[in-house]
Amino acid sequence: MRKILLLLLTVAGTAALLSGCGKEESAGDATRLELKKDGQIVHTIVEDFSRDYYNLEELKGNVEAQIAEYNTTAGNDRITLDSAEVEEGIIRLVMTFRSAENYSGFYRQALFCGTVKDAFNAGYDLDVQLHGIGEDNTVVGRQEILEMGGKHIVVVREAIQIKTFGNILYVSSGVEPLGNGREVNVTDKENLSYIIFE
pLDDT in tens, 35-75: 999 999 999 999 999 888 889 999 999 999 999 999 999 98
What range does the domain containing 137 cover? 110-197
Mean pLDDT of the chain: 87
Give me the residues paired with residue 87 across strands. Answer: 90
* 126-165 residue pLDDT tens: 999 999 997 778 999 999 999 999 999 999 999 999 999 9
Do residues 15 and 101 both lie within one domain? Answer: yes
Give the mean model confidence (pLDDT) for residues 14-35: 56
Do residues 99 and 132 both lie within one domain? Answer: no
| Banded pLDDT at 29 (limits 50, 70, 90) | confident
Contact 102, 80 (CB under 8 A): no
Looking at 88, 106, 124, which one is the last position of a domain? 106
Do residues 13 and 45 both lie within one domain? Answer: yes
Provide the Cα torsion 43, 48, 52, 55; round to 10°.
Answer: -10
Looking at 72, 106, 140, which one is the last position of a domain? 106
Q: What is the largest CA-CA distance in the chain?
A: 54
Give the mean model confidence (pLDDT) for residues 89-94: 94
Contact 31, 44 (CB under 8 A): yes
d(CA 165, CA 182): 7
Do residues 101 and 14 both lie within one domain? Answer: yes
Do residues 117 and 191 both lie within one domain? Answer: yes
The alpha carbon of residue 48 and the mean position of all alpha carbons in its chain are separated, in whole angstroms, by 18
Looking at 44, 73, 106, which one is the last position of a domain? 106
**Confidence at residue 180, expressed as pLDDT on a 0 to 100 scale:** 85
CA distances, 40 to each of 12, 96, 97, 197 (Å): 31, 7, 6, 16
Q: Is 143 exposed, middle or buried (0-12, 13-18, 19+ CB in 10 A)?
A: exposed
Do residues 137 and 96 both lie within one domain? Answer: no
For the cut 70, the answer to whether the pLDDT of residue 2 exceeds it is: no
d(CA 30, CA 49): 14
d(CA 155, CA 145): 13
**Confidence at residue 134, expressed as pLDDT on a 0 to 100 scale:** 77
Do residues 21 and 70 both lie within one domain? Answer: yes
Do residues 96 and 114 both lie within one domain? Answer: no
Do residues 22 and 90 both lie within one domain? Answer: yes
What pTM did the predictor assign? Answer: 0.86
